[in-house]
A and B are shown apart, each in its own frame.
Chain A
Amino acid sequence: MVGEIKKILVANRGVPAVRIMHTCRDRRIPTVAVYSTPDRLAHHVFMADEAVHIGEAPPVESYLNMENMVKTALQTGADAIHPGWGFLAENDRFAQMVMDSGLTWIGPAPESISLMGDKIKAKKIAMRANVPTIPGIEKVKDIREIKRWMDREDIDFPVMIKASAGGGGKGMIKVSSEDELLTAFSQAKSEAKKAFGDDTVLAEKYIERGRHIEVQIVADDYGNIVHLYERECTIQRRNQKIIEEAPSPTLDENLRNEICITAVRLMREIGYRSAGTVEFIFDSNTRKFYFLEVNTRLQVEHGITELITGLDIVSIMIDIAMGRPLPFKQPDIRPNRWALEVRLNAEDPKSFSPSFGTITRLQIPHGPNVRVSSGVNEGDDIPPYYDSLFMLLMTAGANREDAIRVMDRALGRSLRVEGVKTLQPLLLSIIRHPKFRSGEFSTRFIEEHLKELVSAFKDKDSEDEVLKIARYVAEISALGPQEWM
């Protein structure tokens, strides 16, 4: 696939769609947005140069509707499709369908997606490439198999049951005792079926107090594979990342080099092309890392790698898709700052229960060293059908302390969201927590500290306060003097 891309259909919505369209604007490549019925007035629709209604609210009828997606691209004269993340991003059949229709697929080869999408095959390849893997058992049929494997390999609870086809924390359940095994097993299968259309699951030893470290890779058609260093995504809730940073505060130089080279080695074994990420779990006690999975797509947290390297990964993906070689070699990549990202989900910060509704006020942080990737505007609705992520907030600094300080300003003094509940107070509490500041945490940080975390609040600000006063004036102007006065 060589040649200019003249128009890109972005097969996504919200944050990823807007992110991709920004790069397309930079490069003056026209874009086509697609939208479901409730997204008619969504932000990404107006970021694009044109927009096409693609179906009803349920994702299967809209953002997961492969035929419609390809048909829309052809009708609007788009010559390439970028899938973003989520939805069809890791669907090899869709990638194939795009290519078969004569369009350019901005992403890895369908074969790589399919190979890495199968957790069992992925693990085998990793072993072949001499990448350390977590002990486990594949294609589990029933819980007796899990028990036998645990006996055989002398594995204790907790263990993890995962969808073989999974990712993003879906179809992934931690089992702490034998009592929970059956429910967890059926739930994992059911979620796997629903999320990925495949209910095959695997079981693995669970690394207690592990840290999540991943390596960003870009690779072209000519065998050039370059890593853009690592990110640490240890702060998670329900197995979903909510704070990421680059570089990792955990690794020393030797381990950093080792983990990055290991990732490159694995991607070379696969024959990977485009942007992708190799994820590892790092056991702080033994200081060993194990392969988790490869994400064959642009990742949510790619922005912090862009901040520390100065590169545009979406732009690189487009170049690779156009058949161009990478314009740099490994020694050219020299990260020179620290970056932090928080995910703003529309959720109750205490219960993580989703919060839908209209964003009645949105004040977006600005100022030095702040990058905002928003999927919404003030006045937009957050519909209940899709992912709860509506904004990414990134900050940078010369070192970790600086980046955290800027994040404190952005979250505490600048960002204001009203109308839906968000993780903002929780995120603020985390970045102010001494354990987070000192870098001592694991993937269980939130569950271990939840009680103390939810008590912090954003800083008081006269802008917020005046709006409360205005609400009062509005109500009394409409209703007149009140009984209680």
Chain B
Amino acid sequence: MDVRGVAMTKRIKGKARTGKNPKSRKTKPLKGSLLFRPGMAPREIVSTLRSLEGVAITSTGMRDAGQSDYKNRHRIFDLSTLAGYYNEMGLFSAECHGGARWHVGIMNRRESPFEEIEILREKMPNVMLQTLIRETNLWGYRPYPKNVIEYVVQRVDIDIWRCFSFLNDVRNMRAVAEVVMKRGRLFEPAISFTQAEWTTNNYYLSVVKDIVDLCGGVDEIILCIKDMAGVGSPERIRSLVDAIKQRYPEMVIQYHRHSTDGLALPAILAAAQAGAKILDAQEDSLTRFYGQPPLLSLHAYLEEAGVRVHLNRSAAEAAVQKVRDWIGHYDWAESPFRGFDHNVTQHRMPGGAFPSSFEQAEKGGFLHLMPYILRVMSLYNKIVKYFDVTPGSQITWVTCSGIVNRYEKEHGRAGVRHLISLLEKFVEENKQDFSSMDKREQEELLQLFRNAPGDFKNLLLGGYGRLPVGWPDEWVYRSAFGEEWKEKIKERKELSPLDSLEDDDLEKHRNTLKETIGREPTEEEYILYLMHPKDTVSYIEFREKYGEAPLVLPTDVWREGLKRPGDRVDFDLWGKPYTIELVSVGDEHEGLIHVVMRVNNRTRVYTVETPRAKRIEIRMAKGPDEIGSPINGNLWRIGNPQRGELHVGDIVHKGEEIANLEAMKMENAITAPFDARIKEICAKLNEAVVEGQLLFVIEKI
């Protein structure tokens, strides 16, 4: 599937500081040979995996690793330096796409997922590219209608589509599954895993049955167990994989696990021993606390236990080493909450949400409340049962951090402690028996969700699909909706959003974008816009202004610029060499700084506005009672020759000339749009005015 505008990115070559050319290295046969390639039919992939001795690896180094410990800030400029090694490593796939990487890409890194695919396809043609997609929520945070899902999924060039539902509502996967399977790409449905009393093997077997029914068997899919918080104890995982393999012996299983509880490696070994065929890992040098386990350690640990790992170890070692070249540029992006956290088994915050939640807490000034919030989360998830993964994790986070912040604001730290003991009593001692709480406690619980976010309320009403083990108790609805709670329960949807949401008007969206950016958008820009409208417009504006800076600048320059006179950055752009060298940065004067640089030997001066720059406020005409200037020009006459100059209070008639502008020796009459009285004259005679500038305020008579 080709999309417009890709020719451009093809020519980009960032000056990657590649050491040895990985292509010249001799690969060991068998171990790490290239069994999997883009273009393989799903059935072929599945049968290759079934006959594979040992396990294969999905590297998450290009997506989930960075998302879990570095807020998704790893730039394709750096990640693509690993591509040459990946190309030889004998990976099953590289997860390099999806999840929050889309959104953070356009918002913070200013690079598009389409550019990333294009670059990686060129640099690692042997590697199957994998995405993570949130069923109807795609790569956004809300359910999209069916026609949007089909339009988008059809146009993204990805080999393996790992698809999960935070509700394990398999119905929601249908649209994605159909398009992916029709395209001959590999669909990988995931079951969201957590450890709770209700997430039994039988529960999961019922979810897997739905999946097998949806996908017409087990021959063209891979099943993923998505342990996104890193909470599966080794024996729990062994038992789950085993149960699935007992029921579906031919099913190929991939185990995706985060490291948060510190028990990733034993859990993964247990999964492999029970029959999982693909395991997720990341470069050891990228590993911190919340991502996948370290690749080389995993390799050694499993091999020692007698499980063969299909991997070219020397290429993997080189990739691990390569990361050390650039990982130091990302210290600023690391989560402020460091270290493993076995209590994740209680609060269940997923690895991918860790750094961003802590970032929000830090920005919001409530980092000190984090222990309380995590505790409230661990109680909350027993009241409203779903899986803490996007968008569920955001709903949990916003709801729980909101409640804790409200208590802190109203009653101080004592109030927060009171909240926790109230919830502990309700959940743990009284087993959620609402009637067993006394009247004051009941009243307090009935206020708990009153200010909860709209997404939480939408979740209760079935907006995202069915909850995995039924709707929450009545009091939750009373708490969230007050007196309207009964009507709200009646409105609650049992249908999948795929069946309840009406199609979007795609042409209308395209036209809105076209009008906003003032030109025809590319297909890729349009798809980004369908996911994240506001941020995409800002991304497009950024790229129009700064071009391919996000793709060609090394990360230190991208983040901090050139520091000392004589510092330079070399890069290739579209096959030609360029050098930008700093000559000097001037002092700030009236909000302006002058930067002198040499761009390929030519000296250029850039005037940079600081946040203190003075901006001249020009009032622009807005409503129908405000008359603006149609052009840039000189206001040489206020009034007309017949009646002379006009003043505030004068009556003018529809069509009467009320002012005249001159620009480049041409006259432009401004006429009254209706009979009116002049309320205000907002420009002076002979003033140079700009297009749209407010000239008159008038009052209809």
| A interface, CB within 8 angstroms of B | 170, 183, 186-187, 190-191, 194-195, 238, 347, 351, 353-356, 384, 386-388, 455, 457, 460, 462, 464-481, 484-485
Question: Interface digits, B97-139 against A, CB 8 Å rule (1 contact, 0 not)?
Answer: 0000000000110000000000000000000000000000000
Rounded to whole angstroms, the CA-CA distance of A14 and B641 in the bound complex is 33
Choose one: B547, B560, B597; the contact of A474 (CB below 8 Å): B597
Choose one: A386, A457, A470; the contact of B580 (CB below 8 Å): A470
Q: List 26 A-B contacts (CB under 8 A).
A: A183-B657, A194-B665, A194-B667, A195-B665, A347-B664, A351-B691, A353-B633, A354-B632, A384-B633, A384-B688, A465-B547, A466-B599, A468-B548, A469-B546, A469-B573, A472-B553, A473-B597, A474-B561, A475-B595, A476-B557, A476-B559, A477-B560, A477-B561, A478-B595, A481-B332, A484-B107
Determine if B30 is an interface residue (Cβ-Cβ < 8 Å). Answer: no
Rounded to whole angstroms, the CA-CA distance of A354 and B608 in the bound complex is 25
The answer to whether A467 touches B631 (Cβ under 8 A) is no
- Which of A355, A457, A479 gathers the greatest number of chain B CB atoms within 10 Å? A479
The answer to whether A473 touches B553 (Cβ under 8 A) is yes
Number of residues from B at the complex interface, CB < 8 A: 56
Known: A465-B573, A476-B558, A478-B593. A460 touches B8 (CB 8 A): yes
Choose one: A238, A355, A468, A485; the contact of B559 (CB below 8 Å): A485
Rounded to whole angstroms, the CA-CA distance of A384 and B576 in the bound complex is 39
Rounded to whole angstroms, the CA-CA distance of A268 and B549 in the bound complex is 64
Choose one: B545, B585, B599, B688; the contact of A478 (CB below 8 Å): B585
In this complex, what residue of A is CB-closest to B660?
A: A190
The answer to whether B562 touches A480 (Cβ under 8 A) is no
The answer to whether A354 touches B560 (Cβ under 8 A) is no
The answer to whether A470 touches B608 (Cβ under 8 A) is no
Known: A194-B667, A477-B595. A354 touches B553 (CB 8 A): no
Determine if B666 is an interface residue (Cβ-Cβ < 8 Å). Answer: yes
Determine if B183 is an interface residue (Cβ-Cβ < 8 Å). Answer: no
In this complex, what residue of A is CB-closest to B107?
A: A484
In this complex, what residue of B is CB-closest to A191?
A: B667
Question: Interface digits, B611-631 against A, CB 8 Å rule (1 contact, 0 not)?
Answer: 000000000000000000011
Determine if B198 is an interface residue (Cβ-Cβ < 8 Å). Answer: no
The answer to whether A238 touches B641 (Cβ under 8 A) is no
Determine if B16 is an interface residue (Cβ-Cβ < 8 Å). Answer: no
In this complex, what residue of A is CB-closest to B588?
A: A478
The answer to whether B608 touches A478 (Cβ under 8 A) is yes
In this complex, what residue of B is CB-closest to A355?
A: B632
CB distance from B595 to the nearest CB of A (A): 4
CB distance from B637 to the nearest CB of A (A): 9
The answer to whether B665 touches A472 (Cβ under 8 A) is no
CB distance from B31 to the nearest CB of A (A): 41
Contacts of B657 in A (CB 8 A): 183
The answer to whether B606 touches A474 (Cβ under 8 A) is yes
Rounded to whole angstroms, the CA-CA distance of A455 and B514 in the bound complex is 11
The answer to whether B573 touches A462 (Cβ under 8 A) is yes
The answer to whether A480 touches B573 (Cβ under 8 A) is no
In this complex, what residue of B is CB-closest to A469?
A: B549
Rounded to whole angstroms, the CA-CA distance of A462 and B600 in the bound complex is 12
Choose one: A186, A462, A484; the contact of B641 (CB below 8 Å): A186
CB distance from B125 to the nearest CB of A (A): 25
Choose one: A387, A469, A473, A476; the contact of B664 (CB below 8 Å): A387
Determine if B44 is an interface residue (Cβ-Cβ < 8 Å). Answer: no
Chain B positions 1-46 with a Cβ under 8 Å from a chain A Cβ? 8
* Besides the known contacts A386-B664, A469-B578, A481-B332, 14 further A-B residue pairs in the complex with CB atoms under 8 A apart: A183-B655, A353-B631, A465-B574, A466-B547, A467-B599, A468-B545, A469-B552, A470-B597, A475-B595, A476-B558, A479-B610, A481-B560, A484-B108, A485-B73
Determine if B427 is an interface residue (Cβ-Cβ < 8 Å). Answer: no
Determine if B663 is an interface residue (Cβ-Cβ < 8 Å). Answer: yes
Choose one: B576, B631, B663; the contact of A462 (CB below 8 Å): B576
Determine if B418 is an interface residue (Cβ-Cβ < 8 Å). Answer: no
The answer to whether A480 touches B549 (Cβ under 8 A) is no
Rounded to whole angstroms, the CA-CA distance of A475 and B593 in the bound complex is 9
The answer to whether B519 touches A457 (Cβ under 8 A) is yes
CB distance from A352 to the nearest CB of B (A): 8
CB distance from B649 to the nearest CB of A (A): 25
Q: How many residue pairs at the A-B interface have CB separations less than 8 Å?
A: 142
- Which of A191, A467, A474 gathers the greatest number of chain B CB atoms within 10 Å? A474
Known: A384-B634, A477-B561. A354 touches B546 (CB 8 A): no
Chain B positions 294-340 with a Cβ under 8 Å from a chain A Cβ? 332
Contacts of B73 in A (CB 8 A): 485
The answer to whether A187 touches B595 (Cβ under 8 A) is no
Rounded to whole angstroms, the CA-CA distance of A471 and B605 in the bound complex is 9
In this complex, what residue of A is CB-closest to B663?
A: A354
Question: Interface digits, B584-606 against A, CB 8 Å rule (1 contact, 0 not)?
Answer: 01000000010101011000101
Determine if B582 is an interface residue (Cβ-Cβ < 8 Å). Answer: yes
Known: A465-B573, A479-B608, A484-B108. A455 touches B548 (CB 8 A): no
Contacts of A190 in B (CB 8 A): 641, 667
The answer to whether B552 touches A187 (Cβ under 8 A) is no
Rounded to whole angstroms, the CA-CA distance of A299 and B148 in the bound complex is 58
Rounded to whole angstroms, the CA-CA distance of A227 and B83 in the bound complex is 69
Choose one: B580, B610, B669; the contact of A469 (CB below 8 Å): B580
Contacts of A457 in B (CB 8 A): 519
The answer to whether A462 touches B574 (Cβ under 8 A) is yes
Rounded to whole angstroms, the CA-CA distance of A27 and B385 in the bound complex is 92
CB distance from A218 to the nearest CB of B (A): 29
Rounded to whole angstroms, the CA-CA distance of A473 and B559 in the bound complex is 9
CB distance from B475 to the nearest CB of A (A): 41
CB distance from A252 to the nearest CB of B (A): 36
- Which of B519, B559, B663 gathers the greatest number of chain A CB atoms within 10 Å? B663
In this complex, what residue of B is CB-closest to A465?
A: B547
The answer to whether B559 touches A170 (Cβ under 8 A) is no
Choose one: A464, A467, A473; the contact of B562 (CB below 8 Å): A473
The answer to whether A353 touches B578 (Cβ under 8 A) is no
CB distance from B553 to the nearest CB of A (A): 7
Ranked 4 nearest A-B pairs via Cβ: A477-B561, A468-B547, A476-B561, A474-B606
The answer to whether A170 touches B665 (Cβ under 8 A) is yes
The answer to whether A354 touches B641 (Cβ under 8 A) is no
CB distance from B65 to the nearest CB of A (A): 19
Determine if B422 is an interface residue (Cβ-Cβ < 8 Å). Answer: no
In this complex, what residue of A is CB-closest to B578?
A: A466
CB distance from B657 to the nearest CB of A (A): 8
Rounded to whole angstroms, the CA-CA distance of A469 and B110 in the bound complex is 13
Contacts of B655 in A (CB 8 A): 183
Question: Interface digits, B630-644 against A, CB 8 Å rule (1 contact, 0 not)?
Answer: 111110000001000
Rounded to whole angstroms, the CA-CA distance of A384 and B634 in the bound complex is 9
Contacts of B519 in A (CB 8 A): 455, 457
Rounded to whole angstroms, the CA-CA distance of A479 and B246 in the bound complex is 61
Determine if B654 is an interface residue (Cβ-Cβ < 8 Å). Answer: no
The answer to whether A470 touches B573 (Cβ under 8 A) is no
Rounded to whole angstroms, the CA-CA distance of A351 and B631 in the bound complex is 8
Rounded to whole angstroms, the CA-CA distance of A194 and B664 in the bound complex is 12
Rounded to whole angstroms, the CA-CA distance of A471 and B547 in the bound complex is 10
The answer to whether B610 touches A478 (Cβ under 8 A) is yes
Rounded to whole angstroms, the CA-CA distance of A388 and B666 in the bound complex is 11
Contacts of A384 in B (CB 8 A): 632-634, 663, 688
Contacts of A186 in B (CB 8 A): 641
The answer to whether B631 touches A354 (Cβ under 8 A) is yes
CB distance from B586 to the nearest CB of A (A): 8
Chain B positions 469-517 with a Cβ under 8 Å from a chain A Cβ? none
Question: Interface digits, B537-578 against A, CB 8 Å rule (1 contact, 0 not)?
Answer: 000000001111100110001111111000001000111101
Rounded to whole angstroms, the CA-CA distance of A455 and B573 in the bound complex is 26
Known: A469-B552, A477-B562. A356 touches B632 (CB 8 A): yes
CB distance from A416 to the nearest CB of B (A): 13
CB distance from A84 to the nearest CB of B (A): 16
The answer to whether A468 touches B549 (Cβ under 8 A) is yes
- Which of A347, A465, A478 gathers the greatest number of chain B CB atoms within 10 Å? A478
CB distance from A199 to the nearest CB of B (A): 11
Contacts of A481 in B (CB 8 A): 332, 559-560
The answer to whether B606 touches A387 (Cβ under 8 A) is no
